[in-house]
Chain A
Amino acid sequence: MTVFITVFGIVQGVGYRPFVAAQAKELGVKGWVRNCGGIVQITASGDPETVEGFVRRLHEKRPEGAQVERVTVKPQPEEPFDEFRIDLSGKCKGHTGEAPVIPPDLPMCESCKKELQNPKDRRYRYPFISCASCGPRYSIMNTLPYDRGTTTMQDFAMCPSCEKEYQAGRRCHAQTISCHDCGPQLILRDQGMVWEKEEAFAKAADLIRNGGVLAVKGVGGYQFVCTPDKEDAVERLRLLKGREKKPFAVMFPSVEAIRAHCSVSDEEETLLKSVARPIVLLRITEKLFCPQVSGESRFLGAFLPCTGLHQLLTDTLGPLVVTSGNFTSEPILYRDEELLKVDSPFLSGVLYHTRRILSPLDDSVARVFEGTPQVIRRSRGYVPLPLLFARRAGKPVLAMGGDLKSSFCLLKGDRAYVSQYFGDMENYQVSRNYRNGLKHMERLLRIEPLSVACDMHPGYHTTAFGEDLALRITAAGPLKFQHHHAHAASVMAEHHLDGCIGVVFDGTGYGTDGTVWGGEFLLCSGADFERRAHLRSVPLCGGDAVAKNAVLAADCYRCAAGEALGSPRFEMVQAAIKHRINTQDSSSMGRLFDAVSALLGIREENSYEGECAIALENAAAAAKDAGKAPLFLEFPILEKENGEMVVDQVSLISQLLETVRADGDKDRIALGFHEALSDAVLAVCRKIRAKSGEKRVALSGGVFANLILLHQCYHKLIENGFCVFLNNAVPSNDGGVCLGQAWLAAVTQQEGSE
């Protein structure tokens, strides 16, 4: 009996064909296997029982890193084969038109790690060791099918030994196969001097040991690396990056090493070791590094090595600060020439190799909430894996996403491919990377969007770009979705919901009424929503400046609360609001957190996104840890004539200013603020449920990065009979907006065709 088998899923670049060949040989099946644009096709011949057993194997087993979505089997005319071979012809048969699944970059596997650390292995200490089931993939892929010639490994001719290994065994058809003799090699450049291979490594280790900052070429781009133990080293790194204050991530050689600093649950360990090897935010138990690394943060971004090079570095030097190689507001550097051009007294050297990176990818960031991972920055190791929708889009969709944490989503059928994080589209290089990334992914996935979705904001660069594209594709405008609706929809898309109460808290989104929204309760159904409740719309002055300057936010709220300060600065803000100079009505939740943080004297400036809110959360956590009771504060909930509810944060600000004057324990007030907000969330959701019967709640928006708030809302809602859904696979911040837009576009298409 001969059958034709098609395997769908992540089956390319993960050693799937060698796996199939091994199964076939074991069972005595003859025929061939080949890659075909992201799927695997097999012709299997043998007696019926053997072939059946073979098909069962394909359902049951798979190599690490592979995800089998579906296996189809069709009978074939009998055909004799004398062996089972891996067919390299690239001739595809009966192509399905389904968008392919392309593997993300895979971390060094355990077998390769053993070889790396084994002095007798011929790849002992080879930094770019890989095999059929590990190594870089998406970041170096040019086109499909995934072959050596379609990746940047094509620049390296295999040596005879590698050539031989390519034919059979663990490295059979491993496209990234290479060794000390033939593959990419380490180079260290320092002030015009060049070292290579082991010398480069030794010199690099010396530089780091002596407190230098090194640029290291990682998988998706350069990283800046230094020791976390020396204050001046970390300070130099901050100067190099542009005086950033954000906590840095630290790479550890092993989970055991992480445990010396942080608590690691089983789920967190699984996440740390998962294929994406993300930076995982962990609770710090022992502050062992110098304070410049993570400041007063309660969390440390910890991660494990994902390449031989990183393993060697951390094995030799111990934990290392490893951060994206970029300068403030610029995207990650990924071309050697860009990095070699950098002329900074704070950069000690560049450790790199000549294998080109085609797609820039930052390290991904994730955390565990209630036992389930939540991706915070979706990049290396996740991209370009698709998410599966519960429904199929009639026409392929391109969703443009937001503007500051930009990412796009390509949707074809039921597969939604979310791109990597790019950054602020106002930055020229970010917008170039976004455009190039879009072209690249469209080509790789063979998706030609016939529908474009974007945000309503008239000033978003992604909106302007989406309008351009939509005109070219459809001669009509794009579908425009309200920002917070898209946030809520991103949760609906992930959890296959057809309706929910979307509680969306973030800094800024353009509302359907032309005002700025940000503290929203949306009753969502299909592609529609009603704004059922929101923070009071308060005039905020300063445009984008108010997002940086929390004192300005506080001044605006003081004005709204009828309070006054005597300072000339305050008078100016007051006058600007009165005369509506650069002033917008806003129900922003993010600015409320900023204002409260500033009013309590906790933090007055966002030198990086969320700084004031994080400081406020830390103050609340300090109260909790000290066993202090929250100070009582309350958001009155008012009802408007049209039935819309208003959550009155202005009254809360008045209460808060009074408590500041009376008590002054800012930690207790901070905790009281969190309690009051989660109480308001519960109260509003109950009122909406009473009217609509909806008991599913989606919590989304960047403000839910706040774990105290998330925790309180989650538990209060669950205890009161709500089903609570969160963002898990995509960020709850604007990085996930594209998924919501894509989902809304798909539902809109369907509703239109009904």
Chain B
Amino acid sequence: MKITMAHGSGGKSTSELIAAVFEKNFHNPVLARMEDSAVVPGAERIAVTTDSFVVTPLFFPGGDIGRLCICGTVNDLLMSGAKPRYLTCGFILEEGADTDQLQKIAASMAETAKEAGVSIVAGDTKVVEGQGGIYINTAGVGFVPAGTDLSSSYCKKGDAVLISGNLGDHHAAILSERMQIKNTILSDCAPLGEMVNALLEAGVKVRTMRDVTRGGLGTVLNEFASASNCRIELIEEKLPVSAQVRGFCDILGLDPLYMGNEGKMTVVVAPEDAEKALACLKNSKYGENAAIIGSVLSQGHGEVLLRTPIGGTRIVTALYGEGLPRIC
């Protein structure tokens, strides 16, 4: 079945679509009430976030837009130290969208939500003219335990910088798919709840965490460096990148430091907790390639440096525009 403008009318077709696709996949008591807004219990500090997903293609090796829209929002909540609980989702469907695809996406959302321990408690669907595209917005609510206080401005001299796994997988998978290149690169799209819990429960002194998405690690660390006014140094050989992704990047002149991921986080921890943090990450699902990749060198200068294998030091700026060559 294809989506038609009638599915966005708010009438019978809409209800049918919701029942057939969304209720079926997301069913839970709160959603089942089908009220104008979801009323949920909670008395702690609340974290709220939202994100829109417009990825092409909708299905890619290692994931799909459904898994992505859950992970993206859940991970954003996790990075503030919150325990993600509730999600809302808004669908913008273009005329001609395929309901079978929508089914698959909804099923994937449900599965990922279950894995991440969140409930989808409210939703909305609109149909617009177009060519069968599917766009999803998700908003998330999480609770922040008392005593949890993380900020990108908390990085201090000596702190260790860690990454939870290989860089660039998602970006390379999406590009491969778009270029219709056959390889075995899979998106890393994953919820990071398990490893965040592990870190916090082990009592690791976490200064800040950030999921490494668009703009890549280079951009995230620049944000840390300027917020904390500190100089972060990365060791190039320590950056985990799979051989496949490395080869892919080399041919196309891409830098894994600026490539997007959807299931990786970088975390800055107190120096004495570096090894403990590494163990927490490594023992978690999706964390087997975690590594300590650098440290905060000094205070007083917001910049990120990369120490290269031959002993040189490169300045890593935030991403400024894809692929614009500088070499004359």
Contact = CB atoms under 8 A, between A and B. Distances in A.
A436 interface: no
A402 B328 contact: yes
B325 A546 contact: yes
Given A459-B321, A542-B252, A581 B311 contact: no
B5 interface: no
A609 B328 CA distance: 9
Interface on chain B toward A: helix, strand, loop, or mixed SS? loop
A734 B326 CA distance: 11
A576 interface: yes
Given A426-B314, A427-B315, A464-B317, A702 B325 contact: no
A552 B315 contact: no
B251 interface: yes
Nearest to A568: B181
B317 A509 contact: no
Given A403-B326, A405-B328, A327 B312 contact: yes
Contacts of A571: 181
B250 A545 contact: yes
Nearest to A576: B252
Interface residues of B, number: 29
Contact of A458 (B179, B253, B324): B324
Contacts of B181: 571-572, 575
A702 B325 CA distance: 16
Interface string B249-273: 0111111000000000000000000
B243 interface: no
Given A542-B323, A575-B181, A426 B328 contact: no
A516 B324 contact: yes
A459 B326 contact: yes
Interface string B294-328: 00000000000100101111110100111111111
B175 interface: yes
A583 B328 CA distance: 16
A320 interface: no
Interface-central residue, B180, B181, B250, B253, by most chain A CB under 10 Å = B253
Contacts of A584: 323-325
Given A329-B312, A572-B251, A579-B179, A461 B317 contact: yes
Contacts of B253: 541-546, 549, 552, 582
A328 B308 CA distance: 11
A508 interface: yes
Contacts of A330: 311-312
Contacts of A428: 305, 313-315
Given A461-B317, A508-B327, A572-B252, A327 B322 contact: no
Contacts of B2: none
Interface-central residue, A404, A540, A575, A702, by most chain B CB under 10 Å = A575
B320 A458 contact: yes
Contacts, number: 125
Given A428-B305, A461-B315, A582-B253, A328 B310 contact: yes
A582 B326 contact: no
Interface in A566-589: 569, 571-573, 575-576, 578-579, 581-584, 586
Nearest to A571: B181
A571 B182 CA distance: 11
B317 A544 contact: no
B12 interface: no
A672 B180 CA distance: 39
Contacts of B255: 543
B255 to A, nearest CB: 8
B180 A575 contact: yes
Contacts of A590: 328
Interface string A31-70: 0000000000000000000000000000000000000000
A544 B252 contact: no
Contacts of B180: 575
A632 B169 CA distance: 48
Contacts of A508: 325-328
A18 to B, nearest CB: 45
Contacts of B251: 542, 552, 569, 572-573
Given A328-B312, A572-B181, A404 B326 contact: yes
A582 B250 CA distance: 12
A459 B324 contact: yes
Contacts of B324: 457-459, 510, 516, 543, 584
Nearest to B255: A543
B179 A576 contact: yes
A130 interface: no
A579 B178 CA distance: 7
A541 B325 CA distance: 10
A147 interface: no
A611 interface: no
B180 to A, nearest CB: 6
Interface string A216-227: 000000000000
A431 interface: yes
B22 to A, nearest CB: 33
Contacts of A702: 328
B313 A404 contact: no
A460 interface: yes
Nearest to B319: A459
A745 B314 CA distance: 31
A429 interface: yes
Nearest to A487: B328
A569 B175 CA distance: 15
Contacts of B310: 242, 327-329
Contacts of A405: 328
A547 interface: yes
A507 interface: yes
A425 to B, nearest CB: 8
B266 to A, nearest CB: 21
Nearest to B324: A459
A484 B73 CA distance: 45
Interface string B167-183: 00000000100111100
A257 to B, nearest CB: 34
Contacts of B314: 426-428
Interface string B52-71: 00000000000000000000
A294 interface: no
A667 interface: no
A569 B183 CA distance: 12
A327 B326 contact: no
A733 interface: yes
A268 interface: no
A-B pairs, top 7 by smallest CB distance, nearest first, are A545-B253, A542-B253, A575-B179, A547-B327, A582-B323, A428-B313, A543-B323
19 contacts: A242-B310, A327-B312, A403-B326, A427-B312, A428-B313, A429-B313, A507-B328, A508-B328, A509-B328, A549-B253, A552-B253, A572-B181, A573-B251, A581-B179, A582-B254, A582-B322, A582-B323, A702-B328, A733-B328
Given A404-B327, A544-B325, 18 more contacts: A242-B310, A327-B311, A327-B312, A328-B312, A330-B311, A427-B315, A428-B305, A429-B313, A507-B327, A541-B252, A546-B325, A547-B325, A552-B251, A569-B251, A576-B252, A581-B252, A586-B325, A702-B328
